[in-house]
Structure 1
Amino acid sequence: MGDGLEIFYKGDLMYSTPDLQFLHYFLADDMLETAKEIFSRMEKDPDWMKKRINEFRQAVKGFEQLGEKLIKAGETFSEKNKQKAIEVYEEFLQRDYEYWRPSIFIDLFDKFEDEIIEFIFKGKEKIISKESLQFLLLPNRSVFWQEKEDFRNIKEYMQKNNLKKTSRPLWEKLKNHANKYWWVNNDYQSVKKLTASKFLPRLDERSENPFWKNISKQKKDLIVKYSLDKKTVERLKQFNEMTYLRDIRKQYTQIANYYIITFFQKIARKLSVPVEWANFIIPFKEYGGFLNKDKKLLKDLELRTRKGVWMFGVDIDWKTNVETAKAPELFELVEGHLKGGNILYGNSASLGKARGKAKIILRQSDFDKFKEGDILITGMTRPEFVPLMKIASAIVTDEGGITCHAAIISRELNKPCVIATQTATKAFKEGDLIEVNANHGYVKLIE
């Protein structure tokens, strides 16, 4: 396993639905020994997580410049320079691998919340209130909190200097902000480069409470209150940093998605292939066939727009088997093993109780149907979900662990949140009246 980073998720299955939902399954219980091995490395080396962050930072140096090179290769693609485009893509793909290597282990901990808490606190969690425990598990920093803080500073600058929205100094600041955070609304389905004008409407929004500013001080107070020793604080800090590593990995995944999706869409146009077919290319496996306009692959891509596609992990080198023709039947088979009843249990990410109408939100195009007071049910929240999370009465996810986006933001917003239910998006129907009891970790159908 090298330094705890060469991880193969046992039973690794990935499915892209015809409407581009991406689902990941693996045998979580079989990964416990791997998690324990990483616990051991963290125990022996208090800087273990810091080293992973440093490796990640090294891997993403020049990443956006490489991405721009990839976009240019797509724009200038022709039969004559096809091999050059493949080489540029492979260079980008290799860099993409390099930032995943020191961060891929994070997801295996989603299943092991109890083990994480036991590892950090060694039994002391029994004397710590649930509210304090959840607060201690928050990260001390977040790239998304930093974006909010930077934008908050722009608003204060505008107000302090009594500037109009058309003023040149304000626009320069908005341009700089867009250059730094252009990727913030991207996901696996929709990608775009935000310009200064896209940030402009936020100047009219009510300023958020800068919740994140006092986290470090409040944590120090809790550490004193519960008499946590140096070793406990070191272990806690490592998991706080793991949450931050997950955060910056999300940042660069959103950046990578833009470059990869845009590249393949540009190639599709050059090849006179329907652009939507490009969305179903397996990026690390089928790029050569696509650029060479392989007939069998093109036939499969068309089929995937109707059936989706499965990828089966084979080994640690990311080799995969692929299934398209029987994809819907396999999906029904897998999901059939996971279906729950009228009560689903998960992990409490943020305490509280709420009742409301269930709204199943799987993609950005679903956002308009969400109303204030609805209960947000999704596979996993991402940064673009935050406006919905603010007006939701509660949040429920299929996936996630104590370091996930839903857990962090729900605590920030003080919203009841139950994560890792596995099947909430399928067990409940649109408009169901449900109860979320995050104090006890369950979601119940009322009517």
Structure 2
Amino acid sequence: MSVPEIFSILSTPREESYVKKEEKDLLKLAVKIKHAKNLKKYERLLETHTQKYNWLNYQYKGPVYQIDYFRDRLEALIHGRKNEAQKLSHNIETADREVFQKQKILIKKLRFSALQTKLFRMSREIVYIKGLRKDALYHGIYSYEPFFREVGRRFGLSIDQVRAMNYWEIEDLLLGKKISPDDLNERLKFCVAWCDRKKYLMYTGEKAKKFLSKIQFEKEKTENIKELIGTCACPGKVKGRVKIINVPEEMSKMQKGDILLSFNTNPNLMPAIRLASALVTASGGLTCHAAIVSRELKIPCVVGAKEVTKIFRDGDRVEVDATKGIIKKLK
């Protein structure tokens, strides 16, 4: 067993992310419905599932997953191969038990000290907590939406205009101070915010462009590069076609078995990620979204492969040796 494989196993959390919880619950629902005769009860269960997990797609401004998204996945499981949902559910549970058992075996076999054992336990907790932190953030923002809509209704603003306000501006608005809708529209078009411990500045329009023009961004040379090295987040080796996906609007081009390249994945991209044979991201580390999800889905993953979305193009045939952290273009 390689060092990346050992590290991947020992740093895999025992707690489940909300993405994994949703997948397991949907599989259980598919098993129930397969043997059910009351389809009305099935619809109620699906509505409950939607209410519980629709926010997973929300992030900073939505939209939420609609019931049709879950229904389509559910029907694919129900009408799939015989006992497919039951087998998938069993495979997930079995894989989890195997990882936890391997963790115990490795700790014993490698003769870890109490401190080393504690450090790896902490690494598992950090991986889990970092994912939970983002889930809590997204759920919190999702929970604000009714409040934002009510503020917009009272003062004749769109929800996007309300989102463009700072929290103290919303407070001032509720206390009777006016705000210019035109200023909010300018923020939505283009704005730059800057702050330190003493002051906060926000520029829009030409001022924002001028401020941004003063910042120097280093550009890496990417010509004639055929191979990149990143960090192994989940070991494995596959070959496939590249699909670069950074936003949900690009997911329609993803086919099962493609290799998904992204600047950095997020929960919005889960429908495409489930089709991927491997994940490669330009940013992120061992606790980023791609690293966590790839371990749960048991697919190879390389993170921190800088400029990967600039060097490779859709349709390129590549080999991902995640164990070594290498992405190589094939002829």
Bin for the TM-score computed over the shorter chain: 0.7 to 0.9
The answer for the alignment partner of 2:80 in structure 1 is none
The answer for the alignment partner of 1:201 in structure 2 is 72
Alignment TM-score, normalising by the size of structure 1: 0.59
Q: Which amino acid aligns with 1:202?
A: R
Over residues 290-321 of structure 1, what are the superposed CA-to-partner deviations in whole Å (9 max), with x where a residue is unaligned? 664412xx3343223332x3333413x9x643
2:39 counterpart SS class: coil
- Please report how far the alpha carbon of residue 265 of structure 1 lies from its aligned counterpart in structure 2 after TM superposition: 4.3
Q: Which amino acid aligns with 1:163?
A: A
The 1:335/1:143 distance shift into structure 2, 3 A limit, reads farther
The 1:419/1:154 distance shift into structure 2, 3 A limit, reads same
Count how many residue pairs are aligned between Structure 1 and Structure 2: 311
The 1:219/1:314 distance shift into structure 2, 3 A limit, reads same
The answer for the alignment partner of 1:154 in structure 2 is 29
1:396 counterpart SS class: strand
Q: Quote the Cα distance in structure 1 between the aligned partners of 2:249 and 2:297.
A: 23
Residues 219-230 of structure 1 mapped to structure 2, 5 A cutoff: 219-230=103-114
The answer for the alignment partner of 2:36 in structure 1 is 163
Over residues 197-222 of structure 1, what are the superposed CA-to-partner deviations in whole Å (9 max), with x where a residue is unaligned? 65333333253331334432221122
Identity %: 28
The answer for the alignment partner of 1:109 in structure 2 is none
Selected match of 2:269 from 365, 370, 385 = 385
1:314 aligns with 2:187: no
What value does the CA root-mean-square deviation take over the aligned residues?
3.3
Q: Which amino acid aligns with 1:306?
A: K
1:311 counterpart SS class: strand
- Please report how far the alpha carbon of residue 225 of structure 1 lies from its aligned counterpart in structure 2 after TM superposition: 2.4
- Please report how far the alpha carbon of residue 247 of structure 1 lies from its aligned counterpart in structure 2 after TM superposition: 2.5
Contact 1:340/1:423 (<8 A) preserved: no
- Please report how far the alpha carbon of residue 437 of structure 1 lies from its aligned counterpart in structure 2 after TM superposition: 3.9
Q: Quote the Cα distance in structure 1 between the aligned partners of 2:309 and 2:215.
A: 15
The answer for the alignment partner of 2:142 in structure 1 is 258
Q: Quote the Cα distance in structure 1 between the aligned partners of 2:122 and 2:64.
A: 33
Contact 1:358/1:429 (<8 A) preserved: yes
Over residues 145-203 of structure 1, what are the superposed CA-to-partner deviations in whole Å (9 max), with x where a residue is unaligned? 333333333333333xx2146242x44544443443332222224232755x6533333
The answer for the alignment partner of 2:170 in structure 1 is 287
Selected match of 2:253 from 369, 385, 390 = 369
- Please report how far the alpha carbon of residue 240 of structure 1 lies from its aligned counterpart in structure 2 after TM superposition: 0.8
The answer for the alignment partner of 2:155 in structure 1 is 271
1:233 aligns with 2:117: yes
The 1:243/1:320 distance shift into structure 2, 3 A limit, reads farther
Gaps in structure 2 of 5+ consecutive residues:
78-83
Alignment TM-score, normalising by the size of structure 2: 0.77
1:336 aligns with 2:208: no
Q: Quote the Cα distance in structure 1 between the aligned partners of 2:249 and 2:173.
A: 28
Contact 1:191/1:258 (<8 A) preserved: no
The answer for the alignment partner of 2:304 in structure 1 is 420
